[in-house]
């Protein structure tokens, strides 16, 4: 419970539109630093239920037609994800298509997060101003176009170095790492990608963040296989009296963490919104 608001209520409200997706992000703080490559492990903290838990994340987009197909798959399976986007998509190339996709991502209850402007390897960028621009410029673009706070950040390649740690600390950000990386961008084979992820899930005892790329055709092939397997596996687990695999959403993380300093923003947004769900979340805050 989050001050009387159930996870189910938050997930239901997330599907209502832009304002609610913004509210869910506003409720969610950064992830804590930890071990994997210097970053956190498990990337989103330990399981809150004792059952295996998964959070699906997608990097490098948005991109047509692959992002749209992935959104279709997620909608079919009632899964909400986090999309770590690169700002350059909204300044060059198919700008109108990119805007349509970010609108759809937010409208359907997913979370928009920052993946730098140009997908730069931040640890090799020696110029402080250029390194800061990669984070700040993309942040400004995404927050303006998504019309929601952008609080989560993932550095390309998972780069870890003092330069990046200091850059994020100055902005009160922490890196949102991952636990399962099938590297489908490299092998380009959707079936192999699906088999790798499923094998990792079979042995999962805690919470895991899955990294995929919504720019790759292999992801479009692999994702439905993984989600179909999870549904079948959960049916088997339920029949055998075992706890099912839980797929997390931004609403679930919102229950666990409250972003300091954003309560006022949420209350103000609620007063000008026609969305009853946003008002409900705002009224539940302390």
Domain count, the chain: 1
Instruction: Give the predicted TM-score (pTM) of the model.
Output: 0.82
- Contact present, 212 and 223 (Cβ < 8 Å): yes
Decide: 11 and 250 in contact? Cβ < 8 Å. no
Instruction: Give the torsion sign (CA, 19, 49, 248, 177).
Output: positive
Domain membership of residue 100 (yes or no) is yes
pLDDT category at 272 given cuts 50, 70, 90 is low
pLDDT at 249: 87
* pLDDT of 14 over the 60 cut: no
**In this structure, is residue 279 part of a structural domain?**
no
Instruction: Determine what percent of the chain is predicted with pLDDT higher than 90.
Output: 63
Tokens coding 271: 């007063």
Task: Return d(Cα 205, Cα 106) in angstroms, integer.
Answer: 31
Q: Please report the pLDDT score of residue 8 as a whole number.
A: 42
Average pLDDT in the 129-149 region?
95
Average pLDDT over residues 59-81: 96
Is 54 or 35 the better-scoring residue by pLDDT?
54
Report the candidate in 67, 27, 90 with the shortest Cα–Cα distance to residue 217: 67
DSSP track, 95-148? HHHHHHHHHHHHHTT-EEEE--SS---GGG---HHHHHHHHHHHHHHHHHHHTS
Q: Distance (Å, rounded) from C-alpha 269 to C-alpha 251? A: 18
Any domain includes 79: yes
Residue 114: its H or E element: strand 111-114
The answer to whether residue 6 is domain-embedded is no
Give CA torsion, residues 183, 82, 42, 45, to 10 deg.
180
209-247 pLDDT per residue, tens:
999 999 999 999 999 999 999 999 999 999 999 999 999
137 part of a folded domain: yes
Is 24 inside a domain boundary? Answer: no
The answer as to whether 156 is a domain residue is yes
Domain span holding position 214:
33-259
Question: Per the domain annotation, does 284 fall within a domain?
Answer: no
Q: Are 56 and 85 in contact (CB under 8 A)?
A: no
Using the predicted structure, report yes or no on whether residue 93 has a pLDDT greater than 80.
no
Q: Quick one: how far is CA 173 from the chain centroid?
A: 15
- Catalytically annotated residues: 59, 213
Q: What is the CATH number of the domain that holds 161?
A: 3.20.20.370
């Amino acid at each position: 419970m989050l001050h009387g608001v159930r996870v189910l209520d938050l997930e239901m409200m997330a599907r209502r539109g832009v304002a609610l997706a913004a509210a869910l992000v506003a409720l969610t703080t950064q992830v804590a630093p930890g071990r994997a490559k210097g970053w956190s492990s498990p990337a989103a903290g330990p399981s809150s239920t004792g059952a295996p838990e998964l959070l699906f994340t997608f990097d490098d987009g948005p991109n047509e037609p692959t992002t749209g197909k992935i959104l279709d798959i997620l909608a079919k399976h009632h899964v909400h994800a986090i999309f770590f986007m690169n700002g350059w998509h909204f300044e060059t190339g198919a700008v109108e298509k990119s805007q349509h996709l970010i609108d759809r991502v937010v409208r359907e209850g997913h979370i928009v997060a920052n993946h730098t402007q140009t997908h730069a390897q931040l640890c090799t960028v020696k110029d402080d101003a250029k390194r800061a621009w990669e984070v700040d410029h993309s942040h400004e673009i995404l927050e303006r176009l998504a019309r929601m706070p952008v609080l989560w950040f993932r550095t390309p390649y998972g780069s870890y170095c003092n330069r990046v740690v200091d850059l994020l600390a100055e902005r009160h950000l922490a890196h949102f790492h991952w636990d399962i990386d099938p590297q489908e961008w490299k092998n380009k084979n959707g079936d192999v990608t699906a088999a790798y992820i499923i094998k990792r899930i079979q042995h999962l005892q805690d919470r895991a963040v899955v990294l995929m790329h919504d720019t790759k055709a292999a992801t479009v092939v692999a994702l439905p296989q993984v989600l179909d397997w999870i549904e079948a596996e959960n049916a088997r687990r339920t029949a055998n009296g075992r706890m099912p695999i839980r797929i997390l959403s931004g609403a679930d993380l919102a229950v666990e963490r409250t972003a300091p300093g954003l309560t006022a923003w949420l209350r103000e947004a609620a007063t000008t919104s026609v969305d009853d769900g946003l008002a409900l979340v705002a009224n539940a805050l302390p």
